[in-house]
Amino acid sequence: MPKRANNEGSIFPYRNGYAAYVWVTTPDGTKTRKWAYGKTREETHEKWLKLHEQARKGPVVTKSETVAAYLERWLREVVEPNLAPKTAALYEMFVRLYITPELGKKRLDKLTVRDVQGWLNKIRTACQCCMQGKDAKRPEKHSDPKKRRHCCAVGKCCKQQPSGGTIRNAHMTLRSALENAVREEIISRNVAANVKIPLPRRKKIKPWTVEEARRFLESAHDRRDPMYAAYVLVLVLGLRLGEALGLRWADVDLDAEEMAIGWQIQRVRNRLLHRQTKTHDSDATLPLPSIAAAALRDRHTAHEATREKAGDGWQDTGLVFTTASGKPIEPSNFVRSFKAACHKAGVREINVHATRKTCASLLVALDVHPRVAMQILRHSQISVTMNVYSEVSTEETRKALRRLGERLGRGRIPEPDE
Range 109-136 average pLDDT: 91
pLDDT of residue 11 exceeding 50: yes
Is pLDDT of 125 > 60? yes
Confidence at residue 7, expressed as pLDDT on a 0 to 100 scale: 45
Lowest-confidence range among 192-201, 354-363, 406-415?
Answer: 406-415
CATH number of 210-408: 1.10.443.10
Cβ-contact 357, 390 below 8 angstroms: yes
Residue 184, pLDDT > 70, answer yes
Q: Which of 59, 34, 56, 19 is nearest to 10 (CA)?
A: 19
Mean pLDDT lowest for which of 109-123, 192-206, 232-246?
Answer: 192-206
Where does residue 15 fall: left (phi above 0), alpha (psi -120 to 50 degrees), or beta otherwise?
left
CATH 1.10.443.10 residue ranges in the chain?
Answer: 210-408
Q: Answer whether residue 411 shows pLDDT above 80.
A: no
Over residues 86-96, the mean pLDDT reads 94
Is the pLDDT reported for residue 291 higher than 50?
yes
C-alpha 353: how far from chain center: 13
Task: Compute φ and ψ for 16, nearest 5 degrees.
Answer: -95, 15
Residue 412 pLDDT level (bands cut at 50, 70, 90): very low
What is the arithmetic mean of pLDDT over 267-280?
A: 79
The pLDDT of 328-334, averaged and rounded, is 94
The answer to whether 103 and 121 have CB atoms below 8 angstroms apart is no
The 3-state secondary structure of the chain reads CCCCCCCCCCEEEECCEEEEEEEEECCCCCEEEEEEEECCHHHHHHHHHHHHHHHHHCCCCCCCCEHHHHHHHHHHHHHHHHCCHHHHHHHHHHHHHHHHHHHCCCEHHHCCHHHHHHHHHHHHHCCHHHHHCCHHHCCCCCCCHHHCCCCHHHCCCCCCCCCHHHHHHHHHHHHHHHHHHHHCCCCCCCHHHHCCCCCCCCCCCCCCCHHHHHHHHHHHHHCCCCCHHHHHHHHHCCCCHHHHHCCEHHHEECCCCEEEECEEEEEECCEEEEEECCCHHHCEEEECCHHHHHHHHHHHHHHHHHHHHHHHHCCCCCECCECCCCCECCHHHHHHHHHHHHHHHCCCCCCHHHHHHHHHHHHHHCCCCHHHHHHHHCCCCHHHHHHHCCCCCHHHHHHHHHHHHHHHCCCCCCCCCC
Rounded to an integer, the average pLDDT of 111-117 is 95
Checking DSSP bridges between strand 17-25 and strand 284-287, what pairing results, if any? unpaired
Rounded mean pLDDT, 22-44: 84
What is the Cα–Cα distance from 83 to 213, expressed in whole angstroms? 36
Partnered with residue 412 across adjacent β-strands are none
Tell me the C-alpha distance between 238 and 361, whole Å.
11
Whether the per-residue pLDDT at 54 is higher than 90: the answer is no
Average pLDDT, rounded, for the chain: 83
Fold of 67-126+161-194: DNA polymerase; domain 1 (1.10.150)
- Cβ of 356: how many Cβ atoms within 10 Å? 22
Q: Where in the chain is the domain with CATH 1.10.150.130?
A: 67-126+161-194
Euclidean distance between CA atoms 211 and 208, whole angstroms: 8
Per-residue pLDDT averaged across 225-244, rounded? Answer: 91
Portion of the chain with pLDDT greater than 90, in percent: 39
Which amino acid does the sequence have at 336?
Answer: R
Q: What gap in Å lies between CA 237 and CA 300, rounded to an integer?
A: 19
Entry pTM: 0.71
- Measured CA to CA, the distance from residue 193 to residue 178 in angstroms comes to 9
**pLDDT tens track for 362-405:** 666 555 667 666 766 766 676 766 665 544 444 555 555 555 55
Distance CA 142, CA 132 (A): 21
